[in-house]
Amino acid sequence: MSRPRILIVDDEPSIRRVLAAHLRRDGYQVDDAEHGGQAIERLEAQPYHLLVTDLQMPEIGGLELLAWCRAELPEIPVIIITAFGTVHSAVEALKLGAHDYITKPFDLTELRNVIGKALAHRVRVGDKPRREPDGRFALVGRTESMQYVYDLIERVAASPSTVLIQGESGTGKELVARALHDQSPRSAKPFIQVNCGAIPANLFESELFGHERGAFTGAVSAKPGRFELADNGTLFLDEISELPKEMQVKLLRALQELSFERVGGLRTIHVDVRVVAATNVDLQAEVAAGRFREDLFYRLNVVPITIPPLRERLSDIPLLVQHFLAKYNRRLGRSVASVDPGTIEQLATWHWPGNVRELENVMERAVLLADGPTLEPRDLHGVGKAVANPEGSPEADQLDLKEYVRLHTARLERSRIQRALDREHGNVTQAARRLGISRKGLQTKMKAYGLRDPERSGEASP
């Protein structure tokens, strides 16, 4: 890759100068702009790999620039510059699709980290636009493991190969199956679903392959099966592990030959069907236990797609929460405007055994019962509260969780204040200068965070 080109947008010349100097020293090509309008001109004139922008600017501000960028140049990651102590606006920006944020005054290590990560992201997804929530797959989530799922969907959608989707209950297997269909050349043809767990064993064969009139008691007229209905389209075999053993053989044969006979029929019917199967149990373990035919397993598992459980991608929670907030506001006719960061933090401490479905249910109830414009932790009715130390859970995706906490809570701010105070040996005036905020502002924050103010306590003591 040639040297990445970065555009810095800030109305303060000194910020532009300092930032540009740092980044040039790190080997990037850097241009700058004083306001959103100028930035858009630059972005239209030549390609950039990264945009770093201030929020507060005259005329076209950072949020508008961000919105423009998400719409026009969705492949460019946007990093927001926020003044120290305005984490809230950064969170707003993240909700609108910013990639990350950095705080002024700049901490060099943090700056390099954030920029390096944003550019690495670009390399990973190549020139494809990043998928946004509510995007083309209707799947929300941006963690690397989900990006991997999206890539797989994109790569295999067009092929007729059989796909086996594995994932715990509620992870979105059905959504993935539909995405595979919607992205395929078969999208205008039927998507036929069979829930293998819900069909009585004696009706399976006629459900899948159909029957002729009089084939069995009750077969008063001929009826096509799901395979026939799915001709030229996609057949989704959900909960495939529930398929009775004798049906497994018949399914295998139908998959191999793409032909079958209706129950009680003599005519061989040929179909062109793309089969997608899903399971929330470990199918290989079922094979080992002798409950699932090995040959059928291999026939289904041509392209495996595994969806990670929600507890391993906790950093997707803020996006999912926004998605469900909008969905249930719409559906329930409510107008809950925002979500308190504490609420999100609490949601990120739960281990979500029911995965996204469980989160969706929690959000539905919270939106329905919320009595203010903001979803407060109390609106969760205890979800997540029982877990004292999520990082202690071995299955938690620790890196993502830490990242999440860094972005979405005030903990970072508190520890930065603590660090500044330590460095300045408790001198509030100096620490405030180091943090780039007023002494009074710092004192307010210290009080909010329960940090002791040695200067004040000195004054107050008798």
Site residues, ligand ATP (CB under 6 A): 139-141, 167, 169-175, 280, 323, 356-357, 360
Other beta carbons within 10 Å of 382: 9
Give the residues across from 274 on adjacent strands.
234
Whether the CB-CB separation of 233 and 274 falls below 8 Å is answered with yes
From the CB of 279, what's the least distance to ligand ATP, in Å? 8
From the CB of 318, what's the least distance to ligand ATP, in Å? 13
Cα separations in angstroms, 234 against 157, 159, 337: 11, 11, 39
Q: Which does 208 bind (CB under 5 to 8 A by kind): ligand ATP, Mg ion, none?
A: none
Edge to edge, the sheet with strand 163-166 lists: 191-195, 234-238, 274-279, 163-166, 303-306
From the CB of 134, what's the least distance to ligand ATP, in Å? 9
- Cβ closer to Mg ion: 78 or 176? 176
Which sign does the torsion angle of CA 13, 19, 25, 30 carry?
negative
From the CB of 282, what's the least distance to ligand ATP, in Å? 13
Q: Which does 356 bind (CB under 5 to 8 A by kind): ligand ATP, Mg ion, none?
A: ligand ATP
- Cβ closer to ligand ATP: 139 or 339? 139
Give the burial class of 237: count Cβ atoms within 10 A of its Cβ; 0-12 exposed, 13-18 middle, 19 or more buried. buried
From the CB of 238, what's the least distance to Mg ion, in Å? 5
- Cβ closer to Mg ion: 276 or 396? 276
From the CB of 172, what's the least distance to Mg ion, in Å? 8
Q: Which does 43 bind (CB under 5 to 8 A by kind): ligand ATP, Mg ion, none?
A: none
Q: Which does 49 bind (CB under 5 to 8 A by kind): Mg ion, ligand ATP, none?
A: none
- Residue 358 is a binding residue for Mg ion (CB under 5 A): no
From the CB of 315, what's the least distance to ligand ATP, in Å? 13
Whether the CB-CB separation of 169 and 241 falls below 8 Å is answered with no
- Cβ closer to ligand ATP: 100 or 238? 238
Residue number closest to Mg ion, CB atom: 174
Whether the CB-CB separation of 340 and 323 falls below 8 Å is answered with no
Q: Which does 360 bind (CB under 5 to 8 A by kind): Mg ion, ligand ATP, none?
A: ligand ATP
The structure tokens listed for 402 are 């830490």
Q: Which long-range contacts (CB under 8 A, 24 or more apart) does 434-443 make?
A: 434/105, 435/84, 435/85, 435/105, 436/83, 436/84, 436/104, 436/105, 437/83, 437/84, 437/85, 441/85, 442/417
Segment 242-261, which members bind Mg ion (CB under 5 A)? none
- Cβ closer to ligand ATP: 53 or 143? 143
Q: Indicate the DSSP class of residue 158.
A: T
- Cβ closer to Mg ion: 324 or 404? 324
Residue number closest to ligand ATP, CB atom: 172
From the CB of 165, what's the least distance to Mg ion, in Å? 9
Q: What is the CA radius of gyration of the chain?
A: 28
Q: Which does 280 bind (CB under 5 to 8 A by kind): ligand ATP, Mg ion, none?
A: ligand ATP
- Cβ closer to Mg ion: 15 or 277? 277
- Cβ closer to Mg ion: 64 or 174? 174
- Cβ closer to Mg ion: 170 or 384? 170
| Binding-site string for Mg ion from residue 144 to residue 183, where x marks contact by CB under 5 A and - marks none | -----------------------------xx---------
Q: Which does 172 bind (CB under 5 to 8 A by kind): Mg ion, ligand ATP, none?
A: ligand ATP
β-pairing, 191-195 vs 234-238, is: parallel
Rounded CA-CA distance 124/142 in Å is 13
From the CB of 370, what's the least distance to ligand ATP, in Å? 20
Size of the chain in residues: 462
SS3 121: helix
Rounded CA-CA distance 10/8 in Å is 7
Q: Which does 175 bind (CB under 5 to 8 A by kind): Mg ion, ligand ATP, none?
A: ligand ATP
Whether the CB-CB separation of 206 and 244 falls below 8 Å is answered with no
- Cβ closer to ligand ATP: 65 or 146? 146
From the CB of 204, what's the least distance to ligand ATP, in Å? 19
SS3 313: coil
Rounded CA-CA distance 211/265 in Å is 7
- Which residues here bind Mg ion, judged by CB under 5 A? 173-174
